[in-house]
Structure 1
């Protein structure tokens, strides 16, 4: 797909996976070491190798060419696999350029840790950097970039914040398998609600029915969730859907939207109306949803939500049918992102980018990312100002 980049960190050859995605190795990367790993129940080639780095005070960056003023999904994954044979679970930071993204915490040697963000490219290149190891050695398994088209995930704050994914759930899924490319042309990964993973769905009300349809869903608006995701849903048979969700990265301000489509054949005298019950948010609690009416017909996407909402770490919410409704509430999918503040880096960033570009790599170590943040290049020294400057070069 145009605008897709899939990097197998530690790999040594290009290949196409079972989804039709083309993977390239990071064999041109001059830093770090590579090693093969093994993990039970995991045989995908991109997870069989990792690249790891010294636990020092440097940062190690991958730099990618991008199209300015275009949004990208950035996805990184980490499968420890006890690559260093120490059984010391690594903990380190990952950043997008000078902006701290999150802290990678490995809690099981055989579990893949994945983080996603939506960013607006404001320069011709972006860097993904690991640094600041608290325990163990920083490492990485895969890096993926997916270019978005049009206005997907547009916000009024995208020059100040990027969006870090906290939850993306496909409700009513008939299997534990995630939905992604080619069903989702943007290769977002929609987790099945039946997984009940830690930090995802942890409590579901009784009386929940799973429904599905084979009729294609019209999703040609807003964030365009894939039709396959919208073809399944849960319905509250007892008049309600109640959930409790752990939100990665919260509390804080976020972007949260639900995806609805009426996929049941309602009788002429049947109606489905319900409201969101969100403790502490009276404005949204009064929101009445009639999916068929709001979407203007059956089998069509309706996407209500908030571009800026304050959410806790443990989010409890419910959908309750109204008194004049004969059918319980329906839910097909939702996404929640946290706003992460963009740090545009040191005052010398543009100057140094121009400086090193005039010399071959053998002359100056071109280490990627900001020259000072989150850690300085190995051959410069920066001051400690909030927006630092280079004070000397070695």
Structure 2
């Protein structure tokens, strides 16, 4: 993906083994960044004993990482978007059980525009649950097609359709993507819509899966993207609304041709039992469609981070091997910690 690799001296500190091992990355104070971490056990230590440990973001608990010997080829990935409190950010892995040694395979930092994902409090982090797009194949979209290196996965596993699924190509020569959260033009090459038997009622709907959320209700942020795939005739209209469970939460959405309509939902809670549904309005002659959507939780309220100097005073870790990259951000790859 044309991301260039560099040495790791700027990110690595070594010292006495600690139970918490951290990376500290210099960033502009008050900037908005995307942080992505990846973990793939792969029995790297030949012990067949995948560890469980905590992941921390600027000193705040982010997630509990449960690695496995049967994990998928891409392993586990965690992604957060947030506004940095000081002129550095830190990502830590912390031991929580005896003889369970934390490790990290990759750490990536990307800069975002301050106007992106702005409908949540600046002291909260957005934790990615799902980001998908309609594609005609199984290849994710990311950098360089997305300059912010967000990973847009194929939508076939994340969209449920009442009467079936249809991926339709967009015949617009180009799509103006100047909307608030800056989606890449590549995610508008196709759209997902529904199908129904000839002469059947216009009742097909699109359900956005929320199975990546927890069973417990938590604050969320949802953003959805729509672009009409063809220039409609004078007697055609595509209009629909978003529902949460059985309650409408949007005005009618009419996807524009050659540009993008974005609808976001914030300041609400949801769980894996919540239904997000796109249903046609009474005057619509066409089924709903969607090009892409993102689903985040915003349950973490970030506490004020110590200054970078303070972090460097007490964050010490010992790494066997770390490799870093630069490109649209920073990547640290393949760190295995010892003696924690």
- With normalisation by structure 1, the TM-score equals 0.71
Q: Secondary structure at the match of 2:274?
A: strand
- After the TM superposition, list the runs of 4 or more consecutive aligned residues in structure 1 that deviate by more than 6 angstroms: none
- Aligned with 1:262 (options 205, 218, 228): 228
Report if the CA contact (8 A) 1:99-1:344 is conserved.
no
Alignment of 1:346-365 (within 5 A): 349-350=306-307, 354=309
Q: Secondary structure at the match of 1:141?
A: strand
**Structure 2 residue 101 is the aligned partner of structure 1 residue 137:** yes
Q: How far apart are residue 124 of structure 1 and its match?
A: 0.9
The structure number with the bigger radius of gyration is: 1
Report if the CA contact (8 A) 2:220-2:266 is conserved.
yes
- With normalisation by structure 2, the TM-score equals 0.81
- Aligned with 1:69 (options 30, 43, 46): 30
Q: Secondary structure at the match of 2:262?
A: coil
- Aligned with 1:226 (options 184, 187, 195): 184
Alignment of 1:1-394 (within 5 A): 19-26=1-8, 29-31=12-14, 58-107=19-68, 108-109=70-71, 110-134=73-97, 136-158=100-122, 160-171=123-134, 173-194=135-156, 196=157, 201=158, 203-213=160-170, 215-238=173-196, 239-249=204-214, 251-279=217-245, 282-284=247-249, 287-292=251-256, 298-339=257-298, 340-344=300-304, 349-350=306-307, 354=309, 366-367=315-316
Q: For residues 215-243 of structure 1, what are the alpha-carbon distances to aligned partners after superposition, in whole Å with 9 as ceiling and x for unaligned?
A: 22110121111111022111122332234
Ranges in structure 1 where 5+ consecutive residues have no aligned partner: 1-18, 33-52, 293-297, 358-363, 369-394
Q: How far apart are residue 30 of structure 1 and its match?
A: 4.6
Report if the CA contact (8 A) 1:291-1:302 is conserved.
yes
1:75 and 1:25 map into 2 onto residues whose CA distance is 19
Q: How far apart are residue 150 of structure 1 and its match?
A: 3.9
CA distance 1:355–1:283, change in 2 (3 Å): closer
In structure 2, the partner of 1:4 is: none
1:266 and 1:31 map into 2 onto residues whose CA distance is 62
Ranges in structure 2 where 5+ consecutive residues have no aligned partner: 197-203, 318-340
Q: How far apart are residue 305 of structure 1 and its match?
A: 1.7
Q: For residues 321-373 of structure 1, what are the alpha-carbon distances to aligned partners after superposition, in whole Å with 9 as ceiling and x for unaligned?
A: 1222110001111111111111226xxx45xx65787xxxxxx66539xxxxx
Q: Secondary structure at the match of 2:118?
A: coil
CA distance 1:189–1:111, change in 2 (3 Å): closer
How many residue pairs match? The answer is 303
